[in-house]
Amino acid sequence: MTEIAIEKRLGSFALDVKLEAPESGITALFGRSGVGKTSVINALAGLMRPDRGRIVVGGVTLFDGERGINLPPEKRRLGYVFQESRLFPHYSVRGNLLYGAKNDGTGPGFDAVVDLLGIKDLLGRRPADLSGGEKQRVAIGRALLASPRLLLMDEPLASLDAARKNEIVPFIERLRDELKLPIFYVSHEMEEIIRLADLLVLLDAGKVAASGTVEALTSRLDLWPLTGRYEAGAVIRTVLRGHDTSFGLSELAFPGGRLRVTRLALPLGTPIRVRIRARDVVLATEKPAHLSIRNAFAGKVIELAPPRGAQVDLKLDIGSTQEPVMLWARITERACQELQLAPGMPIFALVKSVALDHHSYGRYDSGEAETA
């Protein structure tokens, strides 16, 4: 368990953060620029001293203002991956990896890290000869070889283009799934959070606004100013239950139905989170027929948000009696009035399979505890 309770005055900005994170998985710090995300992990790393408070990682106290404890960065055993790779230009990839490596048997060995990150063919190159994605993989490997008890990642994909981001994300997923290493991950991109996060911590004005599962927080209307209203939607948990090879489709099961999506190259039984944007949901008051849309789920209206402009957001439940599954739909106010939609009204929610792309999916631990 990682425990943080710190305060720090930075000019006119006041950081006052209290949170707990599990001993494995990815804790995502999410929020707009300037809300204190990087300050939190700099305090964890020992690069910024809080004015007061306490930081404990895995039972080891890194900082305690009252007791006068403030371990220096090199004593904290934390790995740090920055937005820029910060590799030594005069060292080869092998040299960069071995710089600061610890052979104490507490972390993965050199060969295991090289294999995990797929960088065996890069070992003899210099950083100048690497792509942005390759540099970040080497930077991650260097951090891992320091045998950290916790890995800090400060917007590691921010400087990469879309193709390089897609290259790196699967490797970060492998770190989470195979090494079981706790990771603090800073980002202001919800797509990254959906794919990677186990625990989502929303920061606003130097404080924790909310923390919990991605599913729980993205379904809350009051948090949309922080999670992003334009791309508003819901995240649901599913399990990959079938493949339709004839038509290139896969079926994702959730309490209440099955979601048909373009084929996923994953084994059956894989737990998958799916983000369904509110603007991609169509509503019908009667069971639809003769439509190209393959996903139609019976449910009911739970909540109507106040209209904004010509649009209205509706919260729906498309789950089973025993287990609700929340979905959001965004329609025009005129359509809402003409359909006479109101809380408690039965509805059919339609989702196009092609509306869900690779940015919509993220794997999760099926044994993951709810914290929201």
* Neighbour tally for 283: CB within 10 Å: 19
Greatest mean pLDDT among 38-42, 98-102, 170-174, 178-182 lies in 38-42
Indicate the pLDDT class of residue 224, thresholds 50, 70 and 90.
confident
Averaged pLDDT for residues 145-151? 88
Give the pLDDT of residue 202.
Answer: 94
Give the pLDDT of residue 343.
Answer: 95
Indicate the pLDDT class of residue 220, thresholds 50, 70 and 90.
confident
Give the pLDDT of residue 366.
Answer: 56
Report the alpha-carbon angle 349-352-354, nearest 5.
Answer: 160
pLDDT in tens, 113-131: 898 888 999 999 999 999 8
Indicate the pLDDT class of residue 250, thresholds 50, 70 and 90.
very high
Alpha carbon distance 338, 208 (integer Å): 40
Residue with the bigger pLDDT between 286 and 361: it is 286
Residue 368 has pLDDT above 60, yes or no: no
Give the pLDDT of residue 157.
Answer: 86
Alpha carbon distance 177, 146 (integer Å): 19
Burial class (CB in 10 A: 0-12, 13-18, 19+), 290: exposed
What is residue 352's three-state secondary structure? coil
Alpha carbon distance 188, 365 (integer Å): 23
Continuous segment of H or E residues that includes residue 309: none
Residue 305 has pLDDT above 90, yes or no: no
Q: Quote the distance between the C-alpha of residue 218 and its chain's center.
A: 12
Cβ neighbours of residue 246 closer than 8 Å, sequence gap 6 or more? none
Give the pLDDT of residue 105.
Answer: 63
Averaged pLDDT for residues 78-86? 87
Continuous segment of H or E residues that includes residue 143: helix 132-144
Residue 24 has pLDDT above 50, yes or no: yes
| Torsion of the alpha carbons at 102, 105, 106 and 110, rounded to the nearest 10 | 60
pLDDT in tens, 49-72: 999 999 999 899 999 999 999 999
Kindly state the tokens that stand for 155.
Answer: 């917007």
Cα 118 to Cα 39, 99, 111, 148, distances in angstroms: 31, 19, 10, 20
Cβ neighbours of residue 282 closer than 8 Å, sequence gap 6 or more? 293, 329, 349, 350, 351, 352
Give the pLDDT of residue 289.
Answer: 86
